[in-house]
Amino acid sequence: MEEIASNFIHEIIDEDLAAGVNDTVHTRFPPEPNGYLHIGSAKAIYINYSTAKKYGGLFNLRYDDTNPTKEDTEYVDSIYEDLNWLGAVPTGGVYYGSDYFDKTYELAVQLIKDGKAFVCDLTKEQMTEYRGTLTQPGKESPWRNRSVEENLDLFERMKNGEFPDGSKTLRAKIDMASPNINLRDPAIYRIVRAHHHRQGDKWCIYPMYDFAHPIQDALEGITYSLCSLEFENHRPLYDWVVENCGFNPKPKQREFARLNVTYTVMSKRYLRQLVETSLVDGWDDPRMPTLCGLRRRGYTPSAIFDFIKRAGIAKTDSLVEIELLEHCIREELNTSAPRRICVTEPVKVIIDNYPEDKVEYFPVSNNPTDPEAGTREVPFTKELYIEASDFAEVPPPKFFRLKPGGEVRLMGAYIIKYESVEKNEDGSIKAIHCTADLAVGNGNPTDRKIKGTIHWVSATNCVDLDLKLYDKLFTIPNLNDMPEGATYNDFLNPDSLKTLTGAKAELAVADAKDGDKFQFVRMGYFCKDSKYPGTFNRVVTLKDSYKPAK
């Protein structure tokens, strides 16, 4: 069983278990179905899922579907798919916040009866004005002292649709002078006429998240509500709702720092904008930080979770280098990805002293790091393709690839020597003529040392591919450092995608299934695209100067 490293959340749980505060651990992941999950969501999933797993507890998926204007079943389905792809199976069940609307309404009525909630006629702008500031207390609503009977009547009429959207709210009656602004009589219900993806048109009032969420946690028996740091100031309100709605045992909210990654934006609103304006190829564009985008690019759940663990789980915000994520997948694929040959920018080589109709097979390792992966037979013919960059008519110093007067090893096969070059009318290379050292074969000559080795494919035994080479979506590492007045679009990287058509790969690649990953030797790690046939996406380059912290 995987060992789950301890963190400050586990220390809190250990103390509670020792003191008898709880005897079980039950967590949840509560996404709002208003967009696709991203790598920041993966951190919340990992923390909640792994915590439940470590203590032999349960882990729930609960859709926070209390805002029908932004929600869609497309997002509901994608969230469930992503969660299962990550391996974070909701062992405690799958729930919807909307399943609790009747109970939430009942508890709101009880708060009114207890004199702890009132119907307010202030507009949204007036509520903001009355709320006060961090240094000045708020002032009470003129409607704060309505009678219980009047509040009950008005709240029922809100539910029955007698008032326009936004004309009234139900507010908790707490303390307008509280130093915590979240406790200054927060709205707990608003009027919204919108079709709900599960409830239809049953409701025209919807609970606010800060009211609904602790109720849902308590009803599901959640012991630890683990959420990101922006909810820390909301914790007193969370506790107030749990206490005043009469729940016991009480779920405990604790917060962790969000995952912030360089060259990346986590705002679902902005990611949706990128999709809707066609600046990217959908939510699953491999440049996107969405889990479906990372999956399509070739990232694995294990690499993503490894990245999250290495980035650390703490209470202090930090900016994690995207190179660490790339290092995690590169490290994994180095040991797991089969090697295949693909010439990305092909130029033809003709072996003048090789028979026209001969096909010879050379054994090539499937993965040098894994002897058990064995070898495969790669066909060799008179006409081959090599990388255009592996030939230079006027070579720079220390160029050990194919050049006039030089020899080079074809990986796993013959040594070839340059003889001449054929050119097209425009001056481009039509073919490079060479001769092979047929006597030495794929062995080493005793009379000279061959310094360079290049990859190749048979020109008559290959398959055409399109390659998509992805880079960072933005040009600056910290999008929070944008100049005043700038927008995210100002820093979109125009070179974030380069497409190579007509690459030539060995026939062994032809049978690849969507999502299959390979190391194209010397060129990088690639994944078969699930959207476009004959296309491979570069997951990550072979090497990088990044050195992860020990």
- Whether residue 502 contacts residue 467, with contact meaning beta carbons closer than 8 Å, is answered with no
Mean pLDDT score across all residues of the chain: 96
Is 146 catalytic? The answer is no
- Whether residue 258 contacts residue 230, with contact meaning beta carbons closer than 8 Å, is answered with yes
- Percent of the chain surpassing pLDDT 90: 94
- Residues with Cβ within 8 Å of 74's Cβ and at least 6 positions away in sequence, in order, are none
Of 32, 81, 360, 419, which residue is the catalytic one?
Answer: 32
- Whether residue 274 contacts residue 282, with contact meaning beta carbons closer than 8 Å, is answered with no
Q: What is the pLDDT of residue 548?
A: 76
If you count DSSP H runs as helices and E runs as strands, how many of each does the chain have, helices first? 12, 27
With the C-alpha atoms ordered 423, 427, 429, 434, is the resulting torsion angle positive or negative?
positive
Strand partners, 343: 504
Tokens of 247: 């729940």
Is 258 catalytic? The answer is yes
Q: What is the pLDDT of residue 490?
A: 95
Give residue 193's pLDDT band: very low, low, confident or very high (50, 70, 90).
very high
**CATH number belonging to domain 8-256:** 3.40.50.620
Average pLDDT over residues 292-320: 96
Q: How far apart are CA 276 and CA 297, in angstroms?
A: 20
Using CA atoms, how far residue 28 sits from 39, 85, 163, 192, in Å, is: 17, 17, 35, 27
Tokens of 141: 């609503």
Q: For the segment 338-352, what is each residue's pLDDT rounded down to a tens digit?
A: 999 999 999 999 999
CA 29 and chain centroid, separation? 16
How, if at all, do strands 224-228 and 205-207 pair? Answer: unpaired
Give residue 167's pLDDT band: very low, low, confident or very high (50, 70, 90).
very high
Of 62, 131, 268, 401, which residue is the catalytic one?
Answer: 268
Q: For the segment 180-191, what is each residue's pLDDT rounded down to a tens digit?
A: 999 999 999 999
- Whether residue 544 contacts residue 474, with contact meaning beta carbons closer than 8 Å, is answered with no
Q: For the segment 399-449, what is each residue's pLDDT rounded down to a tens digit?
A: 999 999 999 999 999 999 999 999 999 999 999 999 999 999 888 898 899
- Residues with Cβ within 8 Å of 394's Cβ and at least 6 positions away in sequence, in order, are none
Average pLDDT over residues 383-408: 96
Q: How far apart are CA 61 and CA 52, in angstroms?
A: 12
- Whether residue 241 contacts residue 234, with contact meaning beta carbons closer than 8 Å, is answered with no
Q: What is the pLDDT of residue 310?
A: 95
How many CB atoms are closer than 10 A to CB 295? 21
458: pLDDT strictly greater than 80:
yes
Q: What is the pLDDT of residue 283?
A: 97
- What are the extents of the domains in the chain? 8-256, 268-338+465-540, 343-455
Amino acid code (one letter) for 438: L
Give residue 70's pLDDT band: very low, low, confident or very high (50, 70, 90).
confident
Q: What is the pLDDT of residue 15?
A: 96
52: pLDDT strictly greater than 80:
yes
Q: What is the pLDDT of residue 462?
A: 97
Using CA atoms, how far residue 5 sits from 22, 47, 494, in Å, is: 21, 11, 40
Q: What is the pLDDT of residue 281?
A: 95
Q: For the segment 5-35, what is each residue's pLDDT rounded down to a tens digit?
A: 899 999 999 999 999 999 999 999 999 999 9
If phi > 0 it is left, if psi is from -120 to 50 it is alpha, else beta; for residue 515 that is: left
For tokens 């882990």, what's the residue? 59
Is 15 catalytic? The answer is no
- Whether residue 185 contacts residue 114, with contact meaning beta carbons closer than 8 Å, is answered with no
Q: What is the pLDDT of residue 550?
A: 62
CATH of 268-338+465-540, one of 2.70.98.60, 3.90.1150.10, 3.10.580.10, 2.40.240.10: 2.40.240.10
pTM over 0.75: yes
Of 144, 250, 258, 272, which residue is the catalytic one?
Answer: 258
Closest by CA to 227, choosing from 246, 244, 245, 214, is: 214
With the C-alpha atoms ordered 54, 60, 61, 63, is the resulting torsion angle positive or negative?
negative
Answer whether the bond into residue 186 is a cis peptide, omega within 30°.
Answer: no
Q: For the segment 135-161, what is each residue's pLDDT rounded down to a tens digit?
A: 999 999 999 999 999 999 999 999 999
Same fold for the pair 8-256 and 268-338+465-540: no
User: What is the CATH topology of the domain spanning 343-455?
Assistant: Ribosomal Protein L25; Chain P (2.40.240)
- The backbone torsions φ and ψ at residue 201, rounded to the nearest 5 degrees and listed phi first, read -110, 25
Q: For the segment 478-534, what is each residue's pLDDT rounded down to a tens digit?
A: 998 899 999 999 999 999 999 999 999 999 999 999 999 999 999 999 999 999 999
Tell me which H or E stretch contains 525: strand 524-528
Q: For the segment 365-384, what is each residue's pLDDT rounded down to a tens digit?
A: 999 999 899 999 999 999 99
Residue 360 in 3-state DSSP?
Answer: strand
Q: How far apart are the first and last CA of the chain?
A: 24
- Whether residue 215 contacts residue 236, with contact meaning beta carbons closer than 8 Å, is answered with no
Average pLDDT over residues 109-126: 97
2: pLDDT strictly greater than 90:
no
